[in-house]
Amino acid sequence: MAELSAQSDEELLDRFQRAAFGYFLEQYNPENGLVADRSRAGAPASIAVVGFALSCYPVGVERGWMTRADAAARTLVTLRFFCNSLQSEQPDATGYKGFYYHFLDMKAGKRVWQSELSLIDTTLLLAGVLTAGVYFDEDTTTESEIRERADAIYRRVNWQWARGGGTTVRQGWKPECGFLHYGWDGYDEAIILYVLGLASPTHPLPERSYIEWTATYQWENIYEYEFLYAGPLFIHHFSQAWIDFAGIRDHFMREKKSDYFENSRRATYVQREYARRNPFGFEGYGKDCWGITANDGPGFQKLKIDGRERRFLGYAARGVPYGPDDGTIDPCAVLASLPFAPELSLSALRHFCARYPQMIRDSRLPSGFNPTLPRDGPSGWVSEAYFGLDQGIVVLMIENYRSGLIWKLMRQCPYIGSGLRRAGFTDGWLS
Amino acid sequence: MTNSSLQQEQATRSDQLSPSAQPDDRFHRALLHNVHPLAWRNPKSTGKYKLVVIGAGPGGITAAREAAALGAKVALIERNFIGGDRLNVGCVPSKAIIRTARLYAEMRNADNVGAQVPGSIGIGFPTVMERMRRIQARLSRADSAQRLSEAGVDVYFDEARFAGFDTVEVAGDKLRFRKALIATGARPLTPPIPGLTEVGYLTNENVFNLTECPRRLLVIGGGPLGCELAQAFCRFGSHVIIAQDDPMFLPKEERDAAQILSDSLARDGVEIHLNTTVVGVRLDGKRKIVELVCAGDKFSVSVDEILAGIGRAPNVEGMNLEAAGVRYDTGTGIHVNDFLQTTNRRIYAAGDVCLEHKFTHAAEASARIAIRNALFLGRKRLSALTIPWCTYTDPEIAHIGLYVREAREKAIPVTTFTILMQDVDRAVTDGEEQGFVKIHVRQGNDRILGATVVARHAGEMINGISLAITSGIGLRALARVIHTYPTQAGAIKMAAEAYNRTRLTPTLKSLTKRWLAW
Ligand SMILES: Cc1cc2nc3c(=O)[nH]c(=O)nc-3n(C[C@H](O)[C@H](O)[C@H](O)COP(=O)(O)OP(=O)(O)OC[C@H]3O[C@@H](n4cnc5c(N)ncnc54)[C@H](O)[C@@H]3O)c2cc1C
């Protein structure tokens, strides 16, 4: 990786972005457009990863990594599948009420793992569907069909049903037991869910659902940064991948004289500060080694390392500063912070290249590595599989930093504008 | 089972599960001697009482003692044991065994603080429980029947029943009163689970009678009391499973507090199943097989004992409240106004029987208000109290005032100042770094609206914030209070200093810079 240090920021980012983009070409089923959740043999498709894939294709076209025709063809196969696949209460359907099951069989496209009908994952899929609907704006049969199908998929979603009689939406539903009761509390990645739900021309969420959802927000002063707290870093990225929040504010952010873009910046600084303080003495943590989020981990195990008891987790939502934290870093989350705090992300990226070159294979970043858990080399444990969510957020956030492409596209999507307005957002590009 | 037959069954049960079921040792006998002497003779009532208090828990004792000290003629009626839940089946026994459990955890983790883990850590459960009984006996002295009577309180033992608007019957005697206070407390709710009663289960009323530590223990309901005991038994070596149907762990607490505690319990080895309903229980030999359902998936666990901790029901039955014109609800308890007056103007209520916050200090504080209002035509309000509370797990979770959510519901913009215990020197030197201090203030202002502390000694720390709120002291003033160094309570000062730094606006900063450069 020595040669990376000589590259300019732009060259470096191009290289990592393209490597991440490659995931969607490798893990794609041309029959139905589904994309695997992770790069492990036999992995099912994740609908959220498909949403990222649909958003990445326009990036590929604009960067010259694929032709527009190829991108449109892949997109159309995907949208046809989601339009035509079985929507029913049957336990092996693809979806129900316009939503989709979290995990689908890569070939048959049916529900697997008894997974839940997932509201947030359907939202991320829809974000991709709508991105495609805006990007493919030419007057060809393929692109016209993309637009029609994108609109049809979005309109079919029954957001009102998803409230399950309450004000805010439920997290999921299963044919075996109905709505799931996980209980959402605090700020999370769901702003885009409410924006899309509020904008629905067919089954919209009521405005009060957003107010109710934001009622559990916590504005905290931690390490002298004041911000809307959420522990895992990805929460500060996912809605922001599609929506440009710079300068637009809802009631809460007006009250705090901030916005969600600025908030993600501060959250990044809090992450770095936590890593510098490194209260649990994890190996590697420091100014350029942070990125604590929901990601793959070494698997549950309790070990004594250097006289200290360490408990490691598998795939888990790690968070800062309250934990859980087992010393696992997600370098993809660091790149996802690029638009908000480029000075921090670029410096960390260069540090990863110089200090942990073994964890970077073919310029692709793993979902996690843990220098505290010894393996060969300073990276320690390294996640073996690549995860679609990680690769997707890397492609989109590098692009937003480089050109703002996804943000510009989504500004043109009428549903985003109207959803934001119904949620009470004003100012900035909404004026 | 209908609601009322369920309650009747519970009422009988709570009588059966008395401390008399504890091993009959010298400590237990000493306790009984104080809290319900065998040879006790009820006084012969003469004339009208100024105050009759029903229930000798912390609420009733406080009221009776205060009224007697002020010169009133007072009767205190207790059907079971003086001291109520606090002394007999609640705070005191639980905190006593929690102390021993903490020591066991510390021994196992001794190397965390550079000490050697003892070669073998045998758990002597009977001695743990014996110590608990010794402490109960010792703490029962202060408010023994004898002491109360010496303080001028007429102590009656038996069930109290109203016989009219101004009369209570006890052990065949009719006591007439000018004012009365109902402080009959609460009892554990029984979960309506098929098979549970048949196989037998524990509640706080009999768990302290155990003579052997169960090898496998299921705790139904992960509320504060359930968590305290779950952690303690786990530290005594039980394999403990918590099953609760709520999807959120400690749903009433702030999420980060709940997260830290859930991590801590997991580290101890407690298995937590959220969103999980117990649907049936049966016996298989000596083992109890419990059927559970989570998100549609069924599974079962096999345990030795089941501890039910799903909540508490007020003791309102059997007192003939109708005869006194006192309205009540079997779920929420006796109806009182803000002055703690019931629907009968002569009768007041205090403590668990009428309060949402079921704590000893709340029972005592409410009893004080009730006495002032009843005997001195006072107008003290319950709503004026700021009541802190604490869950004595490790780390402890303490709270006071508003939660952020409540403030936002009242349209109050809130800023929270957070200090992590990891950043507090004394917490680091003590190896007690789990937790935080969060102080909520009105945005742009230093008025404290509420606070949550998660720390080894959160219950001690919250009192500083409680003092500040009650005396109207804001964060600015708190920042000026010199705290001893190093202490864990120093975290509160650190939060106050963080507030002070936000007052240094960019304009102020540039002004001070210019001044200093001059
Ligand atoms: C396991 C456990 C742990 C706890 N830990 C804590 C803690 O750490 N801190 C804290 O603050 N709180 C704690 N509590 C709560 C605390 O014990 C209660 O809030 C407190 O005891 C309530 O006081 P009280 O006077 O209202 O009622 P009680 O203590 O319940 O006393 C009521 C009394 O009234 C008597 N009585 C009832 N009906 C009649 C009748 N008809 N006639 C005559 N007498 C009657 C009862 O026998 C009882 O003695 C705990 C509770 C439990 C169960």
Q: Do B111 and A218 touch (CB under 8 A)?
A: no
| Ligand 1 geometric centre to CA of B309 (Å) | 15
- Both structure tokens of A329: 């870093």
Q: What is the pLDDT of residue A182?
A: 67
First to last CA, chain B: 83
ipTM of the complex: 0.91
- Residue A128's Cβ-side half-sphere holds a number of Cα atoms within 13 Å equal to 34
Phi, psi of B512 (to 5 degrees): -65, -35
Q: What is the pLDDT of residue B8?
A: 40
Q: Over chain B (518 residues), what is each successive 10-residue block's mean pLDDT?
A: 36 38 89 96 92 98 98 97 98 98 96 92 94 98 98 98 97 96 96 94 96 97 93 98 90 89 93 94 96 91 96 97 98 98 98 97 98 94 96 97 92 96 98 97 96 98 97 96 96 97 82 82
H/E segment holding residue A20: helix A9-26
Say which residues have a Cβ less than 8 Å from residue A319's Cβ, sequence separation at least 6. A230, A231, A232, A292, A293, A325, B259
Q: What is the pLDDT of residue B21?
A: 67
| Ligand 1 geometric centre to CA of B74 (Å) | 20
pLDDT < 70: residue spans in chain A:
1-2, 182-185
Say which residues have a Cβ less than 8 Å from residue A212's Cβ, sequence separation at least 6. A167, A168
**Residue B501 with chain A: CB contacts under 8 Å:** 224
DSSP line for A43-94: PPEEHHHHHHHHHHHHHHHHTTSS-HHHHHHHHHHHHHHHHHS-BSSSTTSS
Helices (H), B162-296: 196-199, 224-235, 255-268
Q: Are B465 and B449 in contact (CB under 8 A)?
A: no
Rounded to whole angstroms, the Cα distance separating A37 from A27 reads 8
Question: What are chain A's domains?
Answer: 15-430 (1.50.10.140)
**Residue among B100, B108, B109, B102 nearest B431 (CA):** B109
In Å, how far is A322's CA from the nearest CA of chain B?
A: 6
Supply the DSSP symbol for A266: H
A114, A183, A280 member nearest B247 (Cβ): A183
Say which residues have a Cβ less than 8 Å from residue B287's Cβ, sequence separation at least 6. B302, B303, B304
Rounded to whole angstroms, the Cα distance separating B183 from B399 reads 25
**Residue A114 with chain B: CB contacts under 8 Å:** 297
Rounded to whole angstroms, the Cα distance separating A261 from A236 reads 9
Q: What is the pLDDT of residue B45?
A: 77
- Both structure tokens of B395: 């780390």
In Å, how far is A431's CA from the nearest CA of chain B?
A: 25
Rounded to whole angstroms, the Cα distance separating A370 from A18 reads 25
Q: What is the pLDDT of residue B17?
A: 36
**Residue B260 with chain A: CB contacts under 8 Å:** 322-323
Q: What is the pLDDT of residue A5?
A: 77
A174, A221, A222 member nearest B502 (Cβ): A221
**Residue among A85, A98, A68 nearest A33 (CA):** A85
**CB distance B352 to ligand 1 below 6 Å:** yes
**Residue B433 with chain A: CB contacts under 8 Å:** 279
Q: What is the pLDDT of residue B514?
A: 83
Q: What's the burial of B503, exposed, middle or buried (CB within 10 Å: 0-12/13-18/19+)?
A: exposed
A256, A279, A322 member nearest B256 (Cβ): A322
**CB distance B77 to ligand 1 below 6 Å:** yes
Interior angle at CA B230, CA B13 and CA B129, nearest 5: 70
Question: What are chain B's domains?
Answer: 13-37+51-189+313-384 (3.50.50.60), 196-310 (3.50.50.60), 395-502 (3.30.390.30)
DSSP line for A103-131: EE-TTT--B-TT--EEHHHHHHHHHHHHH
Phi, psi of A276 (to 5 degrees): -65, -40
Say which residues have a Cβ less than 8 Å from residue A37's Cβ, sequence separation at least 6. A43, A44, A45, A46, A49, A103, A387, A388
**Residue among A384, A381, A385 nearest A283 (CA):** A381
Rounded to whole angstroms, the Cα distance separating A237 from A260 reads 10
| Ligand 1 geometric centre to CA of B59 (Å) | 8
A221, A277, A307 member nearest B418 (Cβ): A221
- pLDDT tens-place string over residues A299-350: 999 999 998 889 999 999 999 999 999 999 999 999 999 999 999 999 999 9
| Ligand 1 geometric centre to CA of B363 (Å) | 8
Q: What is the pLDDT of residue B222?
A: 85
In Å, how far is A279's CA from the nearest CA of chain B?
A: 6
Say which residues have a Cβ less than 8 Å from residue A206's Cβ, sequence separation at least 6. A167
